Chains A and B, each alone.
Chain A
Amino acid sequence: MKFSVTVTLKKDVLDPQGKVVQNTLLDMGMHNLKSIRQGKFFEIEVQETDPKIGEKKVNEMCEKLLVNLIIEDYKINKI
């Protein structure tokens, strides 16, 4: 069973990398661009048949290691 985890910086945490990417895209003429936040993506496979238990395990991985809860938010999706 596979899950994806997307980790992004919290709204009020400055994201200088995202800002630089945004400014570059604007310089390249992408004038419709409103904002960019850069994040991380994990693809996680767990040995589990029950999706609820699988998600719980992935959630534990996020809280214990993958995410720094002080500055980051995360979303788990089954894929």
Chain B
Amino acid sequence: MKSSVIVFPGSNCDRDIASALEKMQFKNQMVWHKETSLPKSDLIVIPGGFSYGDYLRSGAIAGKSLIIDEVIKFANSGCLVLGICNGFQILTETGLLKGTLLRNKNLKFINRDVNIKVVNNKTKFTSKYNLNQILKINIAHNEGNYFTDPNHLNILEKENLIALKYCNENGEVDEQSNPNGSLKNIAGIFNSKKNILGMMPHPERMVDQLVSNTDGVNLFNSLLN
């Protein structure tokens, strides 16, 4: 399986995701944002970081970069796109995913491991997880507070487009387990075709027992399937 990781000035999780992909046997290539064509890929990853220093709004400038037109074409043709953290913010700025990520409700940058729950496991990104499986995954963001209009929220719920929700260690989704104020504890969403996933937690940081845990491994295994 071939993957491409898009790199912007200010991306800082690009090498982490590349090494996670390679560990999981993807053939990965890095693509600089000024490129105007994508190498042949089965999966495009937009990594975490602070592209363009979060100027204007997180992801706003990266969302207008040269390579993004190609990513949009790739996504619209049904190919797989994964946006992690800043990558999720960039995907909302391009319009590939609806809604937006506001500043965390407590106005603090949050960097810690949180519990999240797999809400939909019938997708190419999550098929190797059990439904409602609880994962412990790191989050590190200042703008992770997912917001969208009531109409779209309704569609997300009805069409099962919520991928992941913040929860406590027993899997209960409540206000105490919501780190950033996200609507309905949303940690990740799909587009309507479910070929695009945007998520705030960092699965690439959870692929090695030595440094953390292996709760992120099955996301990559699902994609390989």
Contacts and interface: CB of A to CB of B under 8 A. Distances in A.
B147 A65 contact: no
A65 B60 contact: yes
B210 interface: no
A28 interface: no
Tell me what chain B mostly uses at the interface: helix, strand, loop, or mixed.
loop
Contacts of A68: 57, 60, 93, 100
A66 interface: yes
Tell me what chain A mostly uses at the interface: helix, strand, loop, or mixed.
helix
B99 A70 contact: yes
A20 B107 contact: yes
A70 B105 contact: no
B102 A14 contact: yes
Given A66-B56, A68-B57, A17 B149 contact: no
A13 interface: yes
A70 B148 contact: yes
Contacts of B104: 16
Given A20-B107, A65-B64, A70-B148, A13 B56 contact: no
Contact of B181 (A14, A17, A70): A14
B103 interface: yes
A17 B102 contact: no
Contacts of A71: 100, 102, 147
B147 A70 contact: yes
Interface string A57-68: 000000011101
Contact of A65 (B56, B98, B148): B56
Contacts of B149: 70
Contacts, number: 31
A13 B107 CA distance: 15
A65 B95 CA distance: 12
B145 to A, nearest CB: 8
A17 B145 CA distance: 14
Given A65-B56, A70-B99, A13 B147 contact: yes
Interface in B56-114: 56-57, 60, 64, 93, 98-100, 102-107
Contacts of B103: 16-17
Contacts of B64: 64-65
A31 to B, nearest CB: 24
Nearest to B99: A70
Contacts of A14: 102, 105, 181
Given A65-B56, A66-B56, A70-B99, 4 more contacts: A16-B103, A20-B107, A70-B98, A71-B147
Interface of B: 56-57, 60, 64, 93, 98-100, 102-107, 147-149, 181
5 contacts: A13-B147, A16-B107, A17-B107, A65-B56, A70-B98
